[in-house]
Structure 1
Amino acid sequence: MKVELPHGYWNPRIELLPRSDLKELQLKRLRHTIRYAWENSPFYRNLMKRHGLFPEEIRTLDNFFKRFPITRRDDLDKDQLDNPPYGTRLAIPPESALRYHTTSGTTGKPPVKAFDSERDWIWGGDAWASSLYNFGVRADDVVMIAFGYGSFIGFWGAHYGFEKIGCRVLPTGGMDTKKRIPMILELGVTTLCCTPSYAIRMLHVAKEEGVNLARESKVDKIVVAGEPGASIPSTKKVIESGFDAHLGDFMGTTETAGMMASMCSKLPGGLHINEDRYLTEVVDPDTLKPVGYGDRGMMVVTALVKEAMPLIRYATNDIVILDPNDTCPCGRVFDLFRGGILGRYDDMVKVRGVQLTPQMVEEIMRGFSEVDEFFSTVEERDGLDSLIIKFELRKDLEPSTGEDISLQIKEQFKTKIGLTPEIEVAPRDSLPRFELKSRRFKDLRTRH
């Protein structure tokens, strides 16, 4: 790596609290959030009434976990469909909102509309600043944000987080990759902010343009979010070696309107949760009972400082493993997600008895440096479920090498997953490229 990441605390008063004091802060903010939602959000007031629950009955965190109902994406969708255009979760007049964003959209579902108040946006920017500072970003960094700046919340919060730290920020929303690469070199960009897919895309285009970003650029930190790539070992290796830079995984959602968890400079692969702002649980996806440290489960989140649209006990469908804060040597009080987001329960599919996720496919495919791009589908062929993988060879390789690479890919899937896919070499530049969240995996079966 070009540099060793610096270590420090953005807000040591909070980040170094004793764990017991953090729990007291969470409870105080939680009780305020529930009372606020009852008084201002018809969605939550009606939800609590249906379950015979009143704000004053929530006196402890344990009491909250046992009594407050979990909500899901379908609940938000139905609320907005039944009460267009914003639903009844909104707790402020629409004209008082500062910003409007939407989710990136789940296949077959309309995006969720989300509002932020001025207070939400200040808190959100500070959450990003705290996370970026903990990763190693400092005021002398020159930052390129390779993001379209549309209604998807994406890196909007990151932009203000970088500015809060004091960085020089280069928004490049209207540029294509071939224009961004010379700017990285000319302006001495030290921190790149994008999705993992787009970081790989930049490496491919740079190579085509004869640019070695590891040697010629000053990029030493890459901040990625929007998809799990940074926590997939083979993907992380490709990006870090291609830039000779540290890769940091950051996670948040449009619904929470902020940075929930981020990679620490002291523990690559561990994402500290901003627990002063978010109360997180990990539960069994079937029973909804809590699971312990080190066990895989579904993340449920409560935003503790959300004003415009409260979010309470929201099941994200993300697969996570929770580790205690002392797993990391940095000294911060916040617990961690081991390996970041490991996938989504609604992305898991079963193929010939094997549980498969997009992350499992990417882990194998990114291990082949000969592969430029890939796309996978699950289809029914001749009455059997089949995993189909199409890939493009790197442009500097002869087409004749495709057959040998295909055999190697098949063997890796058979050995690591227990499933042998059908492999197809696709024509160059025929597969989709991604700047925002990638969609390299589709289940095309009519039955699941």
Structure 2
Amino acid sequence: MATPPPPGPQQPEGQYPPPGTPPGAPETPYGAPEAPGAHPPPYPHAPYPQGPFPQGPFQQGPYQQSPYAGPYQPWGQGYSPYNRPVPFNGFAIASLVLGILCFLPAVGLVFGTVALVQIKKRGERGKGMAVGGMVMSSIGVLLLGLMVATGGARDFWDGFQDAANDSGGAAFSLEVGECFDTPSGSLGTVVFDVDKVPCAGEHDAEVFADFEMGDGGYPGDKKVADAADQRCYLLRNTYAMDSWAVPDNVDVYSFTPTSQSWRRGDRDVSCLFGNTDEKGGLTGSLRKDQLTLDPDQYSYLSSARAIDNALDSAPAAEYIEDDLPGYKKWAASVSEAVAWEADGLPAHRFGPAARGRIAALAKDMALSAKEWAKAADAPDVDTFYAHYDKALKLIDPKRTVTTRKALGLATTPPKYDESGGGGSGGEGGGGIEV
């Protein structure tokens, strides 16, 4: 048992009561009776006497814990800044996050299970997170299974593909009759976006038709562009039925799929009217169809379009003598089309202003049909040419100017290039990838 140290050489004995003496208890000497006059002098005449503090960290005595130890615990006991709280388990946090986001629910369920095992072994926190993540992930697994069973997952993927098509390759949707500007102002480059504008004002292009290409592998840029040009060229007159109203500087263009958008299911082709001058544009709509024409105008232009389509089906050979059988077959088809329209055109009851001109036009068409039939039966090239020339003169566009004027249609014939096509009747301005 440790004994108290003897009193120091410079301090009076029994200056302080023994540790643990209750307040108010009489001060008794520690180890010796109190000597008379041993009380310390009052302040400020003399310094307060010092007690017998320990002299070193290993000295035995009632104050060996600390030179400032007392009967109370030091402030902050158990709240040392070096104490670290128990950490949260990482798998528990991940499980909760995946469960809330409903992302990879199966993974969230596995993470929650691993978290519970680790928490039990390591004493970490996060059990509630792990359980919550497992519950929400379980719900996600059930919902995913239900979507697969009912086809909802496929619908979601299809919607995702449509969104992808709208944001890369086919970044816009164009409707027939809409007009737009391109960011570059050109129709000869790859386009990712357009600005739709009113057709009444200035614009870069106008959509006159659209169609879808067939399935299968991507046929290549050239084949896609050629197919688009051919189809758009045939469709142009269904939108702009009055070809005379189409300016000479307007040509046919198209928006076609790229190889990248094709892999995402893009097969859409948009047919466009645009200016042949890259720096030029269009003003006003070129639409002349059943939505914008009156009945008399529509009936007349429908007849003219049927004849134009028959004439456009001529053989590829540039000269008749290079393919007489082919031209004779073509002349027979033209004769049928012209005769059909000659009979059908007067069947429509035109207004008084145009009725006489329509009757005269129908008579010329009937005579032309007979000449086409004779050309189809021609025994040689010279005979074919003779009837061919008469047939064309009878339906020469210039003979329809007065009829058009009476109907309120354009009266200036389009200019024709050396290949026989009009200003807007070429093979198209080329396909534009989107």
The TM-score bracket by the shorter chain reads under 0.3
Q: Which has the higher helix share?
A: 2
Give the alignment's TM-score, normalised by structure 1.
0.20
Question: Which entry has the higher C-alpha Rg, 1 or 2?
Answer: 2
Q: Which has the higher strand share?
A: 1
Give the alignment's TM-score, normalised by structure 2.
0.20
